[in-house]
Amino acid sequence: MKRLRPIIQILLPLILGGAILWWMYRGFDWATLQASFNGGVDWTWMWLSFPFGILAQVFRGIRWRQALQPLGEHPRLHTSINAIFLSYASSLVVPRAGEVLRCGVLKRYDGVSFSRGIGTVVTERVIDMVIIAVLSTVVFLVQLPVFMDFFTRTGVSLSSFLGQFTPTGWIVTVVSGVFIVLMGIYLLRRYELFTRTRSVLIDLRDGLLSIRRIDGMAFFLFNSVAIWVCYFLHFYLTFFCFKSTEGLGLDVALVAFVVGTFAVLVPTPNGAGPWHFAVKTVLMLYGVAGTEGALFALVVHSVQTLLVAALGLYAVVALMMTGQRQSSLNIKP
């Protein structure tokens, strides 16, 4: 069973994501996708979104390095950033594997304690959850009148809108929710594996509490906010690539961004499937045709996934060069 577990961890997310994608695009007119590559999409805005996608990961690397410093760990900045690049790319194959891999990268190249690294990763995730919770609450409160006005003007009730979901749509929603819960349980169990010895438990505790001793808290908070601002701009600018979404506005993009952020919690490669379904549903709520919404989700997710993969390849090359430089100069990490 232990030998089968890695295979299951790879195949199950792929099967789940593939099944949702097949269901969403089973009747899709692929000619519209071809048309998008022949002038149907303003690719300038897509290119303009790339720096923000890169900066989000750079800021995450900077913040992680800052969280490790109070523990006496001082990884080099470029190693920390490349570890982040590689972690996101590896999660395209095995969801959530990057969290462990990036700690292994710092251990190998800069001698950072693996368990302390895990502890700071947990700290980062807690901070991200707080930011998303605050953003979600604000977006919901701001958009509530918009939702009510939309239903009033169109004569559409929430029940009738939900009634547009096919039985398969409800199955996808329920299955995605179940997977989020199961993923939470799985992560908790994995966390327990790192706390079986007293020394590892102490390192984890130190990692979790490191935020209290961070030098330059204002800079740490700036990085935390900058990560999510860049994530959002990376997504928002793509709205201007499509005629169906270019006029929707910042508020609609915020709703789609928040809903999509929760959708990627479902353990599929880069949220493939659940993210498409969530974003398409939000766009439909704001009057975008289902075909157009599906096209938007497909193109944006595919291009941004390719960017993540490209950054991962860059990190592999950069880390190989880092290793060669260390050995040639006999520098200990």
Instruction: State the angle between helix axes of 274-285 and 167-193 in degrees (0 to 180), rounded to the nearest 10.
Output: 130
Token output for 102: 């990036």
Which of 2, 38, 76, 73 has the alpha carbon at shortest distance from 318?
76
Into how many domains does the chain fold?
Answer: 1
Q: Does residue 299 lie within any of the structural domains?
A: yes
25 near 301, Cβ under 8 Å?
no
Q: Does residue 5 lie within any of the structural domains?
A: no
Determine the pLDDT at residue 331. Answer: 41
Is 184's pLDDT higher than 60?
A: no
Is 155's pLDDT higher than 50?
A: no
Determine the pLDDT at residue 18. Answer: 66
Q: Does residue 34 lie within any of the structural domains?
A: no
Instruction: State the angle between helix axes of 274-285 and 250-263 in degrees (0 to 180), rounded to the nearest 10.
Output: 150
Is 287's pLDDT higher than 60?
A: yes
The mean-pLDDT minimum among 116-125, 136-145, 180-189 falls in 180-189
Distances (CA, A) of 159 to 117, 141, 150, 173, 305: 47, 20, 14, 16, 34
Is 319's pLDDT higher than 80?
A: yes
Integer Cα distance of 149 and 19 in angstroms: 35
Integer Cα distance of 244 and 236 in angstroms: 14
Q: Does residue 36 lie within any of the structural domains?
A: no
Structural domain for 88, as ranges: 43-326
Determine the pLDDT at residue 214. Answer: 77
Is 153's pLDDT higher than 80?
A: no
Residue 183 pLDDT grade (very low, low, confident, very high; cuts 50, 70, 90): low
List phi, psi (to 5°) of 10.
Answer: -85, -45
- What's the average model confidence in pLDDT over 85-113? 86
Determine the pLDDT at residue 280. Answer: 86
Integer Cα distance of 48 and 273 in angstroms: 25
Q: Is the dihedral of CA 281, 21, 183, 114 positive or negative?
A: negative
Q: Does residue 28 lie within any of the structural domains?
A: no
Determine the pLDDT at residue 186. Answer: 55
Determine the pLDDT at residue 332. Answer: 41
Is 21's pLDDT higher than 60?
A: yes
290 near 23, Cβ under 8 Å?
no
pTM of the model: 0.75
Is 326's pLDDT higher than 80?
A: no
Q: Does residue 25 lie within any of the structural domains?
A: no
- What's the average model confidence in pLDDT over 191-200? 46
Determine the pLDDT at residue 74. Answer: 87
Determine the pLDDT at residue 234. Answer: 96
Q: What is the DSSP string of 229-241?
A: HHHHHHHHGGGGG
Q: Does residue 38 lie within any of the structural domains?
A: no
Which of 71, 164, 78, 165 has the alpha carbon at shortest distance from 118?
71
In total, the chain counts a number of residues equal to 333
- What's the average model confidence in pLDDT over 201-216? 64
10 Å Cβ neighbour count for 28?
14
Which of 200, 191, 189, 73 has the alpha carbon at shortest distance from 126?
191
Residue 329 pLDDT grade (very low, low, confident, very high; cuts 50, 70, 90): very low
Token output for 100: 């462990």
Q: Does residue 6 lie within any of the structural domains?
A: no
Determine the pLDDT at residue 309. Answer: 93
Determine the pLDDT at residue 233. Answer: 95
27 near 278, Cβ under 8 Å?
no
- What's the average model confidence in pLDDT over 73-100? 87
10 Å Cβ neighbour count for 243?
11
- What's the average model confidence in pLDDT over 298-306? 90
Dihedral of CA atoms 229, 231, 233, 234 in degrees, nearest 10, equals 160
